[in-house]
């Protein structure tokens, strides 16, 4: 991989599932482990769970290359996680302009799914009630930056089809 690859898209689009499948298929890929203010045993991606106070301390110490808030949580990308070459990063669409400035050559894969699919997947997680799920799906994050090359993947059908599309997209952006 020659450049960092940001994987973006709405909650429930299947980013974590596709990243895991890519890591299994491509041992040359290296994931970036995010810091998130939620319990480490809450499922989903492999992340470092910290308290809001610990996150604030890490931020004040300058330990994050990028950090942001979404859905009542704080997310951070540790500076030291970028050693050892390019990373595959689960990233927020809202901070893509900041990420592009901090990570020259950043590539972007946008994973999406139909709203009803997103709602089903979010409900299956069991982390939020119906009103929170509806708010999450309705959240406007704006358009993707026009100056970044973006490959779009629709993960509304089967995981096999989306995985094939995702691996093909990775092949294009990491060649």
Residue 16 annotated as lining a ligand binding site: yes
Provide the token pair at 25. Answer: 């298929």
Residue 11 annotated as lining a ligand binding site: yes
Provide the token pair at 133. Answer: 């799920």
Residue 76 annotated as lining a ligand binding site: no
Residue 30 annotated as lining a ligand binding site: no
Residue 72 annotated as lining a ligand binding site: no
Residue 51 annotated as lining a ligand binding site: no
Residue 74 annotated as lining a ligand binding site: no
| DSSP characters over 88-114 | EEE--GGGHHHHHHHSTT-EEEEEE--
Residue 149 annotated as lining a ligand binding site: no
Long-range CB contact pairs, 164-170, < 8 A, 24+: 166/18, 166/21, 166/22, 166/109, 166/111, 167/21, 167/22, 167/25, 167/26, 169/109, 170/5, 170/22, 170/26, 170/29, 170/109
Distance between CA atoms of residues 145 and 162, nearest Å: 23
- Numbered residues of the known binding site for ATP: 9-16
- Numbered residues of the known binding site: 9-16
């Amino acid at each position: 991989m020659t450049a960092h690859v940001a994987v973006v898209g709405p909650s429930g689009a299947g980013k974590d599932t596709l990243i895991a499948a890519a890591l299994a298929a491509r041992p040359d890929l290296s994931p970036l482990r995010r810091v998130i203010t939620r319990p480490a045993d809450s499922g989903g991606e492999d992340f470092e769970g910290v308290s809001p106070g610990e996150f604030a301390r890490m931020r004040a110490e300058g330990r994050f290359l990028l950090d942001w808030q979404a859905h009542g949580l704080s997310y951070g990308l540790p500076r030291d996680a970028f050693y050892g070459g390019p990373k595959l990063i689960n990233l927020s669409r809202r901070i893509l302009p900041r990420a592009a400035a901090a990570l020259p050559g950043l590539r972007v894969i946008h994973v999406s799914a139909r709203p009803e699919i997103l709602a089903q997947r979010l409900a299956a997680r069991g982390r939020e009630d119906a009103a929170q799920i509806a708010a999450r799906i309705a959240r406007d994050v704006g358009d993707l930056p026009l100056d970044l090359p973006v490959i779009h993947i629709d993960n509304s059908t089967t995981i096999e089809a989306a995985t094939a599309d995702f691996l093909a997209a990775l092949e294009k952006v990491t060649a």
